[in-house]
Amino acid sequence: MKYSKFAVLGALAASAALRAEEPVTGWQTSATVNVAVNKGNSDTLLAGGNILGIKKWDKNELNAGVDAVYGSNKDQATGVRTTTAQNYGASIQYNRLITDRFYFLAHGDARQDKVADIKYRVTLSPGVGYYFIKNDTTTLSGEVGPGLVLEQFEHQKGHRYFVLRIGEKFTHKFNDRVRLVQDADYSPQIDDFSNYVVNAQATLEADLSAKLSATLTLGDTYRNEAAPGRKQNDIRLLAGIKYKF
């Protein structure tokens, strides 16, 4: 009788352990809205938002997202409103873990930026990545791989070229409520390293409740060979509210 009790207890413990090891298969989805409005001596509007989704199962990691930013400024003397920001984008990345730290990846992103005169820029890139730090509070990974860029400026012909994509991603939890998420990538043209783009972004997030959090995002896009008549640098600072589904 003792052995049968032990067998039952052992089977229950083994079943609980197996359930604990089962990976989370559902999507972790969030939406963020950012709005800044000035009225009076100045009349400006800056609004943005994004939807992000993360899914992890077995040895697979999938990240996907869409985002948009719009800004305008009204001249108080003439009443003419000028668009100061108007860009949209989407990105997706799939990682296949080979070990706990090393992975193969497939990355894709697409962006349109009216103010920067970019009709479209699409990047497709396979590669490899490695987690230099991977624990409950901090992760740091590096990625590298070749890429193909399809690009067109306004009023110009589209063209394509190959790049070398080098990226890094960093996350850190200061405590149970506050965290930092940062990423950057550098993509020079393989046969002309003077033509390159650097994208970098850092977001500080603080939980307000189980579903809501406040965010502060600093982003920068630097393009060494910008469209004619356009500046190389675009910096944005956005404060917003994030909702977790």
CB 225 within 8 A of CB 118: no
Q: What does the mean pLDDT of the chain come to?
A: 87
How far apart are the C-alpha atoms of 138 and 204, rounded to whole Å?
Answer: 14
240 pLDDT above the threshold of 70: yes
CATH homologous superfamily of 25-244 equals: monomeric porin ompg (2.40.160.40)
Instruction: State how far the alpha carbon of 224 is from the alpha carbons of 187, 194, 234, in Å.
Output: 11, 7, 12
20 pLDDT above the threshold of 50: no
pLDDT band at 19 (very low <50, low <70, confident <90, very high): very low
Q: Which residue has the tokens 């982003």?
A: 219
Q: Where do the H-state alpha helices sit in the chain?
A: 2-21
Give the DSSP letter of residue 210: S
Nearest-5° Cα angle at 199, 194 to 201: 155
Q: What is the pLDDT of residue 169?
A: 97
Q: What pTM was computed for the model? A: 0.81
14 pLDDT above the threshold of 50: no
How far apart are the C-alpha atoms of 82 and 241, rounded to whole Å?
Answer: 26
Among 183, 180, 182, 143, residue whose Cα is nearest residue 165: 143
Joined tokens for residue 132: 């230099």
Query: Residue ranges of the domains in the chain?
Result: 25-244
Determine what percent of the chain is predicted with pLDDT higher than 70.
Answer: 89
Average pLDDT for 59-85: 89
Q: Which H or E element spans position 45?
A: strand 43-57
pLDDT band at 38 (very low <50, low <70, confident <90, very high): confident
167: burial class by Cβ within 10 Å (0-12, 13-18, 19+)? buried
How far apart are the C-alpha atoms of 175 and 49, rounded to whole Å?
Answer: 26
Q: β-strand 60-74 against 118-134: which pairing, if any?
A: unpaired
- C-alpha 101: how far from chain center: 20
pLDDT band at 25 (very low <50, low <70, confident <90, very high): low
Average pLDDT for 195-218: 95
Give the DSSP letter of residue 24: P
116: left (phi over 0), alpha (psi -120 to 50) or beta: alpha
29 pLDDT above the threshold of 60: yes
Q: Which amino acid is at 185?
A: D
Least confident span in 6-15, 85-94, 195-204, 208-217: 6-15
Structural Rg of the chain based on CA atoms? 22
